[in-house]
Structure 1
């Protein structure tokens, strides 16, 4: 392959670091006036003496009345007013919002429901709703066409019993589903149980049939139902001041108009809608779109919890009012539930949330009259929903991972020891495998002179995979080798210290492929 006689460039010494410029504190010439000292207040528990007429004192002698310092009284007053105002504003605001929510009877006449578990389960449904968007925004964000009155997004959001964790499970809209017996709201006909794609439940029976179908498929009891449309989504993002996302590859979709280069971006409401709707940027279609929706939801949580929104009653009011302006919810989701969630979310961070998609079989199922559907993995999906009912975490809490273009699980690697140091090849192979790379588990030895730098050798046709592998090996040198094939080679050099954990946007980690919010956001 031509690599035996190639040697990497000699290690160049880096220039000496520039000494840090000393920081000199700016000293003010103003000398503050010493605070006024007051007499020590009476001991705790003693009643202050009643006010009396001043007694005439002998000439030359004055007695000062002891009184409580003014700053104590002022501080107590300000603190009391602040607490009462915050509590009053919060409850008043939420109560007023409660009366404005559009209600839907999502649980009407439901029987034979699953047994309730621990924690709270919310079925979050994203609907089309483009009929409420202005013509200018429709044109700008490629939202033409008639509204489909269907579900673009279906998620189960599980809030743990202690309110310290939110687990979000995406259910693909093209999932093969068994719809229970129902009356079609369009034709009025009664249908017996039959197979469909999951998003057909909303089209035929609205919120009620959607809840019944999800419960029938997952055996998870749904406690509340929330339905969000395009308009509510866009306005909420704008009120927050935009949401920051990052991408490791260019995202360009002529259908939605999305055009993002590699890097960090702050998206406004319209651009955010393009991002979560895009499904033509790669071959992953709806699965890739769901992963982007999860990433965006994690970034949204990060923005809300990191910008003081949840601690500011007025800002909280504005954001919540905007979000709920176009939301439909079940009648049981009222003031108490919103206040409880608001208090719980104040302690949230991106690490408090976790995201996954219901495990799928490798091949879909083609159903006559329905078309191609996605089939859930019968064993893994049952274990996932068992964990939801038992209120167990879904994600393995790994350290923060660098974002790469290609998932480590898709990259095959052969490791060779390039130093002659016993055991180094086995060490690197094990470290790469632990972060997700598919190593051969048979490390070899470099026949040439010891290498100072770690080398990643790759076929130019697999350059994206090579960049992802090199990211996991900080300081490594990339070397293209024509004809090497799909298996990349790592020649561990004397500079090797450790493998940096990496992940792709579509990385699957842990038993259910779940990732915590801090692992899917930019930082």
Structure 2
């Protein structure tokens, strides 16, 4: 991804390796002009806005790779991924906003690049803009919907994505639940995985691992991009001038970009972003009002929440942060967010105050405790036990993870509130977090909160 490429140049510049090394690297980039003859554009805000587009192009992928990674279908020549990447004016923050590819959009008047026919403004899914009018119509449609002026355009396809990951030596991802998608071939067990280019493509394309569909896929794309940034900014290869040149040449030769984003712009941006880290990035998805908005002749679309989305894009225009930027606490990733788990604590020992300590510690970690611990019927328990209704087994596992050494016991019919019987072995609470524990007004997370612990 070109965003990662920009960050790579950032690290290089910070290391004192400058313009001489990167000059000439962008000669292989396919240059386009997505802003040609555009009129009535939004006013420029503060900072820089990059439209990052991923297409389903696969022309250079081998037959063996097509079979292995389930890429056999004909490409639709449309956008699989659309993100606005905002670089703050002080170059200390990158805000990434994902736009669902099935978003309801009103396409502006245009000439169809395939048929040559002139079209009036009409409703579509946003990813159709690329198919009908390429990068220029995509930029126009996004600007019309967000009122955010796009300064630069970067485009990657399946081939360039795979090459980017492979040339970096793979990227690490982690999951708190199994991920299996028969359409893409994705099959990941719980835990941490090192993905090569093809496996990473399966990870970011998968839409059928659960009921979250495209929204779940966008969350995985955001987590992956955070991990890619972490790998790019921490990899020793970026501090070796010769090796970096080889990596950068591979990355830059496999993207499409606007004519105005060349070596000089990249180096200038890089020098200003010397201290950039994953915690400097933040990720969110445009607020959704209707996940299945029907449109005649188009089908089900994703309708944005007008008030919340306008507030989000105003924050981008005004160069405001979207997430709470604070030091990340080391925490174990669990399948259910503590904020979604209700807990009643009982003191199962004869020691006064154990229940209160456990309740306070669990609440501090994020669990929704009652705040009113009681004494258990049995006050001589040697082990801490989590009692749970089998219907809430995933929540019980997350709670037990926060209580090292605790045991799980199913109680049919107990209901949604889990019980913790704090026994003699209670030693405290371990910090836990969910993969998608969003925070703040815009549901945004910082990059260091979604990479592997």
In the alignment of these two chains, the number of paired residues is 439
TM-score (normalised: structure 2) = 0.88
Partner of 1:379: 307
- Indicate how the Cα distance of structure 1 residues 363 and 280 shifts in structure 2: closer, same or farther if over 3 A, else same: closer
In the superposition, relative to structure 1, how do residues 295 and 112 fare at CA in structure 2: closer, same or farther (>3 Å)? same
1:266 matches 2:194:
yes
Helix, strand or coil: the match of 2:173? strand
- Residues 290 and 304, structure 2, Cα contact 8 Å, conserved in 1: no
Task: State the 1:412 CA deviation.
Answer: 3.4
Q: 1:98 to 1:403 in 2, by over 3 A?
A: same
* Larger mean Cα displacement after TM superposition, 245-254 or 416-425: 416-425
Counterparts in 2 of 1:313 and 1:470: CA distance versus 1, 3 Å: same
Q: Which residue of 1 aligns with 2:263?
A: 335
Partner SS for 1:361: strand
Secondary structure at 1:108 match in 2: coil
Match of 1:249 in 2: 177
In terms of mean alpha carbon deviation, does 507-516 or 144-153 score higher?
Answer: 507-516
Q: Comparing 432-441 with 512-521, which one deviates more in the overlay? A: 432-441
**Structure 1 residue 301, shift from structure 2 partner:** 1.0
Secondary structure in 2 matching 1:132? coil
1:476 aligns with 2:406: yes
**Over residues 15-43 of structure 1, what are the superposed CA-to-partner deviations in whole Å (9 max), with x where a residue is unaligned?**
xxxxxxxxxxxxxxxxxxxxxxxxxxxxx
Instruction: Establish whether residue 464 from structure 1 lines up as the match of residue 394 from structure 2.
Output: yes
Q: Which residue of structure 2 lines up, in the alignment, with residue 518 of structure 1?
A: 448
- Report the alpha carbon displacement of residue 179 of structure 1 after superposing the two structures with TM: 1.9
Distance in 2 (CA, whole Å) between partners of 1:491 and 1:510 is: 33
My pick for the range that moved more, 242-251 or 187-196, is 187-196
| Shift in alpha-carbon separation, 1:209–1:433, aligned structure 2, 3 A | farther
- Offset of 1:436 from its aligned partner? 4.4
Consecutive unaligned residues in structure 1, runs of 5 or more:
1-82
Aligned residue number for residue 127 of structure 1? 55
CA distance in 1, matches of 2:252, 2:40: 31
Partner of 2:217: 289
**Matched residue SS, 2:387:** strand
In structure 1, which of residues 185, 203, 226 is the aligned counterpart of residue 154 of structure 2?
226
SS across alignment from 1:364: strand
Q: Tell me if the contact between 1:400 and 1:519 (Cα under 8 Å) persists in the aligned partners.
A: no
Is the radius of gyration larger for structure 1 or structure 2? 1
| Alignment partner of 1:394 is 2:322 | yes
Give the conservation status (yes or no) of the 8 Å contact 1:400–1:518.
no
Matches within 5 A, 1:361-510: 361=289, 363-396=291-324, 397=326, 398-418=328-348, 432=362, 435-439=365-369, 444-449=374-379, 453-493=383-423, 499-510=429-440
Distance in 2 (alpha carbons) for counterparts of 1:112 and 1:332: 20
Q: Deviations over 1:80-111 (max 9, x none)?
A: xxx99x97x74244331232211111112222
Give the Cα–Cα distance (whole angstroms) in 2 for the partners of residues 96 and 169 of structure 1: 31
CA distance in 1, matches of 2:263, 2:212: 40
Bigger Cα displacement from structure 2, 230-239 vs 420-429: 420-429
**Which piece of structure 1 moves more, 150-159 or 431-440?**
431-440
* Residue matched to 2:6: none
Asked whether the equivalents of residues 22 and 263 of structure 2 are also in contact (C-alpha less than 8 Å), the reply is yes
Q: CA deviation at 1:432?
A: 4.2
Bigger fraction of residues in strand = 2
Name the CA distance, whole Å, in 2 between partners of 1:493 and 1:216. 60
Partner of 1:100: 28
